Structure 1
């Protein structure tokens, strides 16, 4: 197992990768599903190329599957049959089929294996999911195979490099619906007396004769990796439309499937799909290769031709406007559709090259009012920088041959940092050239596999630049640079060093010299703004001539993945300029500035008071366009400080007073209602202001939100639970209420009026201040919560100071049960962050370290290292900033009283 991701040489890749003496070419896969007994089974017939002489075949298979008879046919030779195929390596998920006569190199063969199993309940492999119809629990079944769980549904070569075509046949109860990657070629009710393929007849003979079954045969797929195979069976309904594609002129049908109770909420997702798919065909300059695109609104995964996702990723109640829900649907669906090209047509050779998150390009065209480029700074850039500032971080490309370790690297670094690095590159070379390079790359590897160097080659061909040289360190090295700016008589002198959030890097940690696009913004004598895109810091230190008597700033528009440290005097000037109505600094500049200052204070490179000085300067600025994003950045930064000082009442009281002073005037000006047709900027600002006021515990805002919740629980009328305030209303009800509010939120969780209510209530219910109710919630999590909801419950509890240490103890006390419950998926790493990431004392650190000392941490070693480092950094942060923060708050309080 690759349990030591840092510092040690990788194990031999041969141990963890399947032998290539035999290669799959085509799978004929038949799957039967019984949603009453919750069983499934099937037969897979795999056409093989015998590359080298073989007397055994090794492929992937989970020990969840009960394997039956296996047989091998080779170029018309007599079949060699066996009673069973045996799992030979449980850890690596492998089965070996042996036969007495060697298969000659250069021949064709076909391997057949039948199998059966119970549907999993763990959100991976082929698994069951429950829904309610008229108060009764019913089930549907669907797949989630990324990265290595196709083997849990059928024996296969479960590696992205080993692409093959697939023909899938599904057998199910006749009243249910079958969907898969491709359109149905035919569908018919099963008649035992009709003539069928011998294998199919034999397979179906094992099914109950008292049930009417139907058979759905799907068209053959293009060559694809096993993790992209998808199928689902259930009582689904759908809405549909069609789009004419711009390159091919083909009409492509689009469907969104959901359970009957949710089908009325898929309209927005269907609209997004219809707008996004043709745009991507134009952007990539490659025809969409499949005859249809379906989406199943139930875990998000970019299966080719059949996108799947949780309800709250695809459903929007048309009667309950919720801007967060609309943005979530747009972002998720645009991202998954992008993978129809980048990832599905061209697939990475191995899991160490997970890339591309270019939905911002498409969403900017479809929803310009969302300003997704600014949202990207909060959702991706800052999040990636926060995690990558730790010694326990990892490069975008993590060399780890063991597929069992892959789930650990599905994190903000593999996605958000990668997306941010590509955004930085796109800005540097120009978006048009960047996308031309992506298109060149995809066309060179159609239906094949690739490595990162192939992408750089494509963009190099489009730009004429050596992109590999420019970009290699950004994806292969850990961390990112801090750019320190000092002013000289002729301009500025800049220096790069690795940024760490708790101490200066040592010599070994500070070896990397990145190629940093500085994006220097300057202003000429006529007031014209100029951004120098040619300024590259490609060595440790360098000087640049600019007029420092005028405004300037590095990392214009916050396009680069780095922090910038100015002198206190220059920071004050930039902050003051940013607060003016006609500032040369954009919204994205201001967002980047506040996040940088917050991070620099975390690292001890600037006094914490400097963060609050900037915030205080900006508090009275005019209501400019998209002001809410600046306020969101402010709220996020103050909240980080508030979480660190959760056990210091004097400081938390002072911080909450500051928060009230910042946000309550906005609430008083904007109110609580969201009239139809209102500008999105005002909607977002109001939502942010109310959220800030709740965080500050303003009595008037708390009373208003409590009243709305009470009215809903008494009357059932949710008209005053505005979708855009739903989360804050639920949190307020839990935090300032008691038993009645707790029970009401549990009721919402178990029977939500719309999909967005459930996750909002799950995260909110943990805000209760009653310790006994917290303990009751722990029992609920263990016995009643769905697997996919448990982490959401824990995230809500983590945000509650009353519950924070109780949550850590809950995880420790129930470690064995939780470890067993989530044994087949990657959830444990999220529990580690949620249950221990909020702690802040040396005693906490010692307790966590001691608890895990004798545990097998191989499934979550990275998350544990990051959680421990977070606690250690918070201890140092509190010790370093307490006096400075106390002094600033005292001074601010005196100024406020004057």
Structure 2
């Protein structure tokens, strides 16, 4: 989601504010990233929720009318929306656009009769869990709170405009959950106690907690665990409650978060245990949807089927691999062509579990494909083949004239699904750096290349190696991305050191 992308990048020390001065033309492409686009959009969505739909439209109308055929600055928009709503929009929004980052709102609670009293405390959220000096960052945070009695409606709306405040939520029984950041509209993380989290588990299982709240809750948990603020084992216990999940957007975000854990655990002897845990999680939704589309289903069901089958295939689920191979052979022989929705999961499954024959069949499909969409689909999964020699062939293929220049980076990234694949990719990028830099030097694809080739390493030694390489291979258009990737590698290393033993112990007990 837009919000998820923004929160992930904006938690890094090498982030930037939405509004930022630019000193060199090469910086422009780099500045238009997930902060400018995704955080910008998310902050506007939060503002819309804060002032209300009617006031938002009225304020926008006043702004557009007043500055028709004229220049305007950001503050002019905040002023118009403030006048229309009667709320301190300029003061609130300045804290969100002029400084980088965002807060984590920590929640402690106590029951007083039929009321729940929450103590909300804000501090800057950092991906590494290291706290800034107290008072150096502060936000005016629009806070909405929902309860189990009426999950989709905010029971209390307030503005957290200081470090800490108490909020009373009326008519809440001791066993009911109370959710801060109703519908996950706010651009901030929320941290609950273990006891509070336990109350959410039945509501996730029976889906009485709305989809956006289920999505936001697990996204926050993974980020807090990565920062070392909570235990990853506690997060995985909550993840088990998503076994009945049927919402594609929730699954998509959860899959991305589990994928990050998967990448880290590939470096341990417990990766098979993680695959077993994941297969149990995805199997029920895959079985309920089946392989073939039903007449009455919508596009989200098709997307969810694709997601679940892809994961099961990637993690080597026997039934899924057998069925994918059968359908692939029928497709290649021309007996039963694969529908577009199944090509992604089938292609990836046969490649991850395939050999040189499978690879050659897939390359033949690529050469014969008329549609660019099909070529892109194939080229992005061929790097999943197990063999290192074939992975090297894929990397050479990525640089050939058979692949469009704008697709090369994604084909290179396709080999990074395994530990050895990441080693090969990084070496390849170093060897070909002059050519790659010349090809992409001024555009966003250079930043993307740095990301796919370095982001998922897990040792301090590797972080230093990446730093050292780019000290002697200048890339002004990707400078911030290089710093972010090195920061991510160090976050991965800290997680491995802190969490891997307890996570593996938990997975083996399942």
TM value normalised by structure 2: 0.93
Q: Summarize the alignment of residues 568-607 of structure 1 with structure 2, pairs less than 5 Å apart.
A: 568-580=194-206, 583=208, 585-607=209-231
* Alpha carbons of structure 1 residues 419 and 747: separation in structure 2 relative to 1, 3 Å: farther
Identify, as 1 or 2, the structure richer in strand: 1
> Match of 2:293, SS?
coil
CA deviation after TM superposition for structure 1 residue 856, in Å: 2.0
Match of 1:517 in 2: 142
Matched, 1:881 2:499: yes
Distance 2:126 2:428 in 1: 31
Match of 1:808 among 417, 422, 426: 426
Match of 1:627 in 2: 247
Distance 2:495 2:352 in 1: 28
- Alpha-carbon contact 1:484-1:494 (below 8 Å) kept: yes
* Alpha carbons of structure 1 residues 449 and 610: separation in structure 2 relative to 1, 3 Å: same
- Alpha-carbon contact 1:645-1:652 (below 8 Å) kept: yes
- Alpha-carbon contact 2:266-2:418 (below 8 Å) kept: no
Render the CA deviation track for 1:579-613: whole Å, top value 9, x for unaligned: 235x2x21111111111111111111111111111
* Alpha carbons of structure 1 residues 781 and 495: separation in structure 2 relative to 1, 3 Å: same
Question: Considering only aligned residues, what root-mean-square deviation do their CA atoms show, in Å?
Answer: 2.1
Distance 1:439 1:725 in 2: 46
- Alpha-carbon contact 1:597-1:611 (below 8 Å) kept: yes
Match of 2:191 among 565, 572, 596: 565
Match of 2:380 in 1: 763
Render the CA deviation track for 1:534-554: whole Å, top value 9, x for unaligned: 311110011111247232110
* Alpha carbons of structure 1 residues 449 and 515: separation in structure 2 relative to 1, 3 Å: same
Distance 1:729 1:539 in 2: 53
Distance 1:751 1:849 in 2: 42
Q: Structure 2: any 5+ residue segments left out of the alignment? A: none
Render the CA deviation track for 1:253-283: whole Å, top value 9, x for unaligned: xxxxxxxxxxxxxxxxxxxxxxxxxxxxxxx
Match of 1:636 in 2: 256
- Alpha-carbon contact 2:103-2:139 (below 8 Å) kept: yes
- Alpha-carbon contact 2:141-2:159 (below 8 Å) kept: yes
> Match of 1:783, SS?
coil
Match of 2:79 in 1: 457
Matched, 1:656 2:281: no
Matched, 1:419 2:41: yes
- Alpha-carbon contact 1:428-1:533 (below 8 Å) kept: no
Distance 1:398 1:851 in 2: 28
CA deviation after TM superposition for structure 1 residue 559, in Å: 0.5
- Alpha-carbon contact 2:314-2:349 (below 8 Å) kept: no
> Match of 2:23, SS?
coil
Match of 1:467 in 2: 89
Match of 2:343 among 706, 713, 726: 726
Match of 1:791 in 2: 409
* Alpha carbons of structure 1 residues 520 and 668: separation in structure 2 relative to 1, 3 Å: closer
Distance 1:382 1:602 in 2: 14
- Alpha-carbon contact 2:441-2:475 (below 8 Å) kept: no
Render the CA deviation track for 1:732-782: whole Å, top value 9, x for unaligned: 222222233323433444443434322211210111111111111222222
Distance 2:323 2:148 in 1: 47
Match of 1:445 among 67, 89, 92: 67
Render the CA deviation track for 1:428-474: whole Å, top value 9, x for unaligned: 11123223322332333334443211221232232232311111111
Match of 1:18 in 2: none
* Alpha carbons of structure 1 residues 448 and 752: separation in structure 2 relative to 1, 3 Å: farther
* Higher mean C-alpha deviation, range 820-829 or range 512-521: 820-829
Matched, 1:689 2:311: no
* Alpha carbons of structure 1 residues 783 and 681: separation in structure 2 relative to 1, 3 Å: closer
Distance 2:151 2:223 in 1: 31
* Alpha carbons of structure 1 residues 689 and 822: separation in structure 2 relative to 1, 3 Å: closer
Match of 1:43 in 2: none
Match of 1:540 in 2: 163
* Alpha carbons of structure 1 residues 439 and 852: separation in structure 2 relative to 1, 3 Å: same
Matched, 1:488 2:488: no
- Alpha-carbon contact 1:767-1:799 (below 8 Å) kept: yes
CA deviation after TM superposition for structure 1 residue 695, in Å: 3.0
- Alpha-carbon contact 1:766-1:800 (below 8 Å) kept: no
Q: Structure 1: any 5+ residue segments left out of the alignment? A: 1-378, 893-898
> Match of 1:797, SS?
coil
Distance 2:353 2:441 in 1: 37
* Alpha carbons of structure 1 residues 523 and 594: separation in structure 2 relative to 1, 3 Å: closer
Match of 2:463 in 1: 845
- Alpha-carbon contact 1:486-1:492 (below 8 Å) kept: yes
Q: Which has the higher contact order (CA 8 A, sep 6+)?
A: 2
* Alpha carbons of structure 1 residues 406 and 718: separation in structure 2 relative to 1, 3 Å: farther
Match of 1:776 among 382, 389, 393: 393
Q: May I ask how many residue pairs the two structures share in their alignment?
A: 502
Distance 2:36 2:300 in 1: 31
Render the CA deviation track for 1:865-897: whole Å, top value 9, x for unaligned: 0000000000001111112202211221xxxxx
Q: Summarize the alignment of residues 291-330 of structure 1 with structure 2, pairs less than 5 Å apart.
A: none
Distance 1:383 1:501 in 2: 13
CA deviation after TM superposition for structure 1 residue 502, in Å: 1.2
Distance 2:478 2:330 in 1: 44
Matched, 1:737 2:363: no
* Alpha carbons of structure 1 residues 800 and 725: separation in structure 2 relative to 1, 3 Å: farther
CA deviation after TM superposition for structure 1 residue 489, in Å: 5.2
Distance 1:519 1:586 in 2: 15
- Alpha-carbon contact 1:517-1:534 (below 8 Å) kept: yes
Render the CA deviation track for 1:364-385: whole Å, top value 9, x for unaligned: xxxxxxxxxxxxxxx2111111
Distance 1:450 1:476 in 2: 17
Q: Which of 1 and 2 has greater Rg?
A: 1
TM value normalised by structure 1: 0.54
Match of 2:14 in 1: 392
- Alpha-carbon contact 1:483-1:564 (below 8 Å) kept: yes
Render the CA deviation track for 1:459-497: whole Å, top value 9, x for unaligned: 223223231111111111111100101113540111001
- Alpha-carbon contact 1:380-1:417 (below 8 Å) kept: yes
Distance 2:426 2:52 in 1: 47
Match of 1:827 in 2: 445
Distance 1:567 1:885 in 2: 20
Distance 1:706 1:454 in 2: 60
